[in-house]
């Protein structure tokens, strides 16, 4: 937690020290228009923060943010409903082929940040770490990581006697979420989730759900780290050292890349207000905002 706060304040200091607008000093206040995005809930905070930064120089630019999940981003891009879509997972080869079939040119892919999917419990929970096999046995019905039995109660894990009879409440993002799909691949080795999963529509809802229930466990982007929850360290195997999510030097096993996708025909430019927004996102100021959120800009 201390290391994460250090990263946060370092990023905040960098953000505050950058003279505004570092990304486009020649711009004027005449730009206006609506930035419409459809897609990742995980990236919704960053999209809003980037827009606020742009609005400091172009107050006429507004944001319409639709955070239905990364699957909705792909669908909207393919159908032409949006020209900009944040995704917490990479567009699949099938989705990219559908885009080319519909539009006649490839989608533009921009890697934005390295994220880590944190697994967390209520602060009162004495548990501090899990192996991937234990994590799989909690969330998955297929247990492809080798656990012989499902883990349904806290007594199956090294917790105090006071917790031994408590059933585990398992919280998750919804199936349309890129985080749901990435967690399935990274933590469950592509296996199936348990039927009693409590699916919630957004990362903040999962955080609040776990924070309000001492028996709960859930997962979300590191960008949603909150004092009301306790992130768990993850071990690759039962005997391997535990890796804390805030330790940027570790090869944390639940890491993934966040993306921004554009529907931009070849040899064409985006509308001017979109260009100004994207210029900010890719600038040092935009990267400082990513860093302040706890993520690593790319």
At CB < 8 A and 24+ separation, what contacts does 201-208 make? 201/41, 201/173, 201/174, 202/41, 202/44, 202/67, 202/173, 203/41, 203/42, 203/173, 203/179, 206/171, 206/172, 206/173, 207/120
pTM equals 0.84
Quick one: residue 242, left, alpha or beta (phi over 0 = left, psi -120 to 50 = alpha)?
A: beta
Tell me: do 231 and 261 sit in the same domain: no
Total domains in the chain come to 2
Q: Are residues 140 and 219 in the same domain?
A: yes
Distance CA 254, CA 182 (A): 8
d(CA 120, CA 223): 13
pLDDT higher than threshold 80 for residue 13: no
User: Are 193 and 205 within 8 A, CB to CB?
Assistant: no
Supply the pLDDT for residue 123: 94
Q: Are residues 123 and 92 in the same domain?
A: no
Three-class DSSP category at 208: helix
- pLDDT tens-digit readout, 206-265: 999 999 999 999 999 999 999 999 999 999 998 899 999 988 778 899 999 999 999 999
- Report the CATH number that the domain containing residue 206 is assigned in CATH: 3.40.190.10
Determine how many CB atoms are found less than 10 A away from the CB of residue 279: 17
d(CA 254, CA 239) in angstroms, rounded, equals: 18
9 exposure class (CB count in 10 Å sphere: 0-12, 13-18, 19+): exposed
pLDDT tier, 8 (very low <50, low <70, confident <90, very high otherwise): very low
Does 248 lie in the same domain as 135?
yes
- Asked if 89 and 142 sit in the same domain, the reply is no
CA 116 – CA 189 distance, rounded (Å): 16
Regarding predicted confidence, which is higher, 269 or 67? Answer: 269
Sequence-distant (≥ 6) Cβ neighbours of residue 224 within 8 angstroms: 42, 45, 118, 203, 204, 206, 207
Domain identity same for 94 and 147: no
pLDDT (0 to 100) of residue 24: 47
Selected residue with higher pLDDT from 163 and 142: 142
CB 129 within 8 A of CB 232: yes
Residues 20 and 71 both lie in one domain: yes
Does residue 19 have a pLDDT over 80?
no
- 216: enclosing H helix or E strand: strand 216-221
Q: State pLDDT tens for residues 72-86.
A: 889 999 999 999 999
| Cβ-contact 110, 274 below 8 angstroms | no
17 pLDDT tier (thresholds 50, 70, 90)? very low
Is residue 290 scored above 90 in pLDDT?
Answer: yes
Across the chain, what does the average pLDDT equal? 87
Higher local confidence (pLDDT), 176 or 135:
135
**Predicted confidence band at 69 (pLDDT cuts at 50, 70, 90)?**
confident
Residue 221 and residue 194 in contact, taking contact as beta carbons nearer than 8 Å:
no
Could you give the CA distance from residue 135 to residue 233 in angstroms, rounded to a whole number? 11
Q: Are residues 160 and 86 in the same domain?
A: no
pLDDT at 102 over 70: yes
Within this chain, do residues 210 and 227 fall inside the same structural domain, yes or no? Answer: yes
Token pair for 201: 């529509």
Does residue 134 sit in the same domain as residue 210?
yes
Question: How many Cβ atoms are within 10 Å of 26's Cβ, its own excluded?
Answer: 5
Euclidean distance between CA atoms 270 and 250, whole angstroms: 38
The answer on 89 and 126 residing in a single domain is no
Judged against a pLDDT cut of 80, whether residue 22 lies above it is answered with: no
Task: With cut-offs at 50, 70 and 90, classify the pLDDT of residue 28.
Answer: low
Q: What percent of the chain has a predicted confidence (pLDDT) above 70?
A: 89
Are the beta carbons of 280 and 93 closer than 8 angstroms?
A: no
Q: Is the pLDDT of residue 287 over 80?
A: yes
Q: What is the mean pLDDT of residues 260-280?
A: 93
Residue 164 has pLDDT above 60, yes or no: yes
The per-residue pLDDT for 165 is 82
What is the domain range of residue 44?
2-114+257-297
Burial 150-178 (b: 16+ CB within 10 A, else e): bbeebebbebeeebeeeebbbbbbbebbb
| 83 lies in the same domain as 124 | no
- Closest C-alpha among 209, 203, 42, 204 to residue 121: 209
């Amino acid at each position: 937690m201390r290391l994460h706060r250090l990263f946060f304040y370092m990023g905040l200091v960098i953000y505050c020290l950058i003279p505004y607008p570092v990304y486009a000093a020649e711009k004027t206040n005449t730009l206006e228009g609506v930035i419409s995005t459809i897609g990742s809930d995980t990236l919704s905070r960053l999209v809003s923060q980037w827009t606020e930064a742009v609005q400091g120089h172009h107050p006429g630019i507004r944001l319409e943010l639709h955070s239905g999940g990364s699957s909705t981003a792909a669908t909207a891009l393919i159908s032409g409903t949006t020209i900009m879509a944040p995704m917490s997972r990479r567009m699949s080869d099938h989705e990219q082929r559908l885009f080319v079939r519909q539009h006649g040119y490839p989608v533009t892919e921009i890697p934005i940040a390295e994220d880590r999917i944190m697994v967390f419990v209520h602060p009162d929970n004495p548990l501090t770490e899990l192996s991937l096999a234990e994590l799989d046995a909690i969330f998955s019905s297929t247990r492809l990581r080798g656990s012989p039995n499902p883990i349904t109660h806290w007594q199956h894990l090294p917790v105090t006697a006071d917790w031994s009879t408590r059933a585990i409440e398992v919280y998750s993002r919804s199936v349309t979420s890129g985080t749901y799909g990435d967690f399935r691949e990274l933590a469950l080795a592509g296996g199936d989730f348990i039927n009693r999963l409590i699916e919630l529509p957004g990362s903040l809802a999962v955080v609040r759900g776990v924070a309000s229930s001492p028996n709960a466990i859930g997962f979300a982007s590191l960008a949603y780290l909150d004092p009301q929850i306790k992130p768990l360290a993850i071990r690759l195997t039962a005997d391997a050292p535990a890796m804390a999510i805030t330790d940027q030097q570790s090869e944390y096993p639940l890491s993934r890349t966040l993306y921004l996708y554009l529907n931009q025909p070849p040899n064409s430019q985006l509308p001017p207000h979109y260009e100004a927004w994207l210029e900010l996102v890719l600038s040092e100021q935009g990267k400082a905002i990513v860093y302040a959120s706890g993520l690593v800009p790319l």
